[in-house]
C-alpha cells in the first residue's frame, strides 16, 4: 500500500489532505483512532479523482459525511478517508427547490428552508448529519424522512457522475441505492412547499424542545445507535433489558434515552463498539430480538 504515492497524487487537487488524522475530530462520538490519509475535497472533480486514484492504487477508501453515524475503532482507519465536509457544502435555493452539496449540514438546510418560507424539512432541523450522508441513509425523525422531499441527486458510481431521480434511489427505511451499490452522493435536491415562516419555525422549535427533553444532547453521541425493529422500538427493548447506565470505559447507555450510547468524556472507539455489541447480545438474550446497527463501523461494514 503506497500511501506516499497516493498522497502525492492528491496534493494537487482542490481540497485539504491530512495525514494520520485523529477521527475523533471528525465524528460526533468524538472518539476513534487516526486515518492514514484524510482528504476533504472542495469540488466534485476532486472527490471523483481521489476515489478513482485510491482504487487504481488498490488502497482501501472510505467516503463519509458529517461523521454522525460512525463508530471508529481505536486502531483507526487504514488507507484513505474522503470526508465531504465544510469545503463542499454550498446550498442554493431556486423557487421551491433547495440543492445542497454533500457536506452541507441538514440543520442548515432546514434553516434555509424556513427563511424562504418553505415547508417539508422541519424534521431535519435537529439531525446532526450532512446532505450527502443523510440522503444516502434516508435520514429522518418525527415521522419525516428525506425521501418525502427528495427530487434528484448527483452521485458518483463506478467512476462516473450520474443524475439520479427518486425512483432510481430505491428508498426504504435507512436504505437507498447509493448505500447498496457503494455510490457517493455529491449533491442532492429537495422539492418543498410554500408555507408560513412563523408556523414552520414554531414546528422546528417544538421538535428541538422535544429533542432536548428526551435525548442526551449534552454528550457526544451518534444519535440512535440501532434501527427500529419491526413492531417495536430499540430504546424500549434496551430499557426493558435493564441496560440504562450500562458502561464500558467511557461509553455508556444513556439513562435519558436508552437508544443512545454516549461518550461521557474519555470513551475510546473500542469502548463504544464493545458496548454496542454487548447491548445487542443482552437485548437478544432478554427479548429474542437481534438489533441491527444504524451506526456503521469502518472495517466491519461496507462504507
Domain around 63: 3-87
- Phi-psi region for residue 39, left (φ > 0), alpha (ψ -120 to 50) or beta? beta
Residue 163 CA: distances (Å) to CA of 156, 168, 174, 179, 190: 9, 10, 21, 16, 14
Kindly state the average pLDDT of the residues 36-53. 93
- Is 208 within the bounds of a domain? no
In this structure, the answer to whether residues 268 and 222 fall within a common structural domain is yes
Kindly state the average pLDDT of the residues 111-122. 97
CA distance 171 to 166: 8
Per-residue model confidence (pLDDT) at position 101: 95
- Is 299 within the bounds of a domain? no
Residue 193: Cβ-neighbour burial (10 angstroms; 0-12, 13-18, 19+):
exposed
- Is 206 within the bounds of a domain? no
In this structure, the answer to whether residues 83 and 20 fall within a common structural domain is yes
Domain count, the chain: 3
Which CATH number fits the domain that encloses residue 48? 3.30.43.10
Beta strands 15-22 and 34-41: pairing type?
Answer: antiparallel
Q: What percentage of the chain reaches a pLDDT higher than 90?
A: 79
Cell of 121: 424539512
Q: Quick check: 266 and 250 in contact, CB under 8 A?
A: yes
In this structure, the answer to whether residues 105 and 134 fall within a common structural domain is yes
Q: What percentage of the chain reaches a pLDDT higher than 70?
A: 99
Kindly state the average pLDDT of the residues 278-297. 96
Q: Which of 31, 58, 87 is the last residue of a domain?
A: 87
Q: Which residues contact 67 (CB under 8 A, 6 or more apart)?
A: 23, 26, 27, 28, 29, 83
- Is 273 within the bounds of a domain? yes
Per-residue model confidence (pLDDT) at position 32: 96
- Is 121 within the bounds of a domain? yes
Q: Which residues contact 287 (CB under 8 A, 6 or more apart)?
A: 237, 240, 241
Q: What confidence category does residue 143 fall into, taking pLDDT thresholds of 50, 70 and 90?
A: confident
Kindly state the average pLDDT of the residues 140-155. 92
In this structure, the answer to whether residues 105 and 80 fall within a common structural domain is no
In this structure, the answer to whether residues 220 and 164 fall within a common structural domain is no
Q: Model confidence over 196-245: pLDDT tens digits?
A: 999 999 999 999 999 999 999 999 999 999 999 988 999 999 999 999 99
First to last CA, the chain: 19
Which CATH number fits the domain that encloses residue 268? 3.90.78.10
Positions marked catalytic: 174, 224, 294
Q: Model confidence over 58-74: pLDDT tens digits?
A: 999 999 988 988 999 99
Kindly state the average pLDDT of the residues 37-55. 93
- Is 148 within the bounds of a domain? yes
In this structure, the answer to whether residues 52 and 117 fall within a common structural domain is no
Amino acid at each position: 500500500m503506497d500511501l506516499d504515492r497516493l498522497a502525492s497524487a492528491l496534493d494537487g487537487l482542490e481540497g485539504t489532505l491530512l495525514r494520520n488524522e485523529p477521527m475523533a475530530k471528525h465524528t460526533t462520538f468524538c472518539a476513534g483512532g487516526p486515518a492514514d490519509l484524510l482528504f476533504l475535497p472542495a469540488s466534485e472533480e476532486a472527490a471523483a479523482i481521489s476515489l478513482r486514484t485510491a482504487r487504481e492504487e488498490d488502497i482501501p477508501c472510505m467516503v463519509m459525511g458529517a461523521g454522525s453515524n460512525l463508530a471508529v475503532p481505536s486502531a483507526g482507519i487504514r488507507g484513505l478517508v474522503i470526508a465531504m465536509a465544510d469545503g463542499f457544502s454550498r446550498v442554493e435555493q431556486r423557487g421551491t427547490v433547495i440543492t445542497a452539496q454533500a457536506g452541507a449540514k441538514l440543520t442548515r438546510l432546514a434553516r434555509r428552508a424556513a427563511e424562504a418560507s418553505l415547508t417539508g424539512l422541519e424534521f431535519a432541523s435537529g439531525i446532526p448529519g450532512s446532505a450527502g450522508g443523510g440522503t444516502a441513509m434516508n435520514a429522518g425523525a418525527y415521522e419525516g424522512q428525506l425521501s418525502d422531499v427528495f427530487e434528484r441527486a448527483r452521485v458518483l458510481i463506478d467512476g462516473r457522475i450520474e443524475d439520479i431521480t427518486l425512483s432510481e434511489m430505491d428508498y426504504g427505511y435507512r436504505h437507498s441505492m447509493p448505500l447498496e451499490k457503494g455510490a457517493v452522493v455529491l449533491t442532492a435536491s429537495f422539492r418543498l412547499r410554500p408555507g408560513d415562516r412563523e408556523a414552520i419555525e414554531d414546528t422546528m422549535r417544538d421538535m428541538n424542545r422535544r429533542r432536548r427533553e428526551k435525548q442526551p444532547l449534552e454528550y457526544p453521541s451518534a444519535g440512535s445507535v440501532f434501527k427500529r425493529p419491526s413492531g417495536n422500538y430499540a430504546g424500549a427493548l434496551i430499557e426493558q433489558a435493564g441496560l440504562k447506565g450500562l458502561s464500558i470505559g467511557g461509553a455508556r447507555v444513556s439513562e435519558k434515552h436508552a437508544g443512545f450510547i454516549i461518550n461521557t468524556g474519555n470513551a475510546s472507539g473500542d469502548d463504544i463498539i464493545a458496548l454496542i455489541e454487548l447491548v445487542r447480545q443482552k437485548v437478544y438474550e432478554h427479548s429474542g430480538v437481534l438489533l441491527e446497527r444504524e451506526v456503521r463501523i469502518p472495517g466491519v461494514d461496507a462504507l
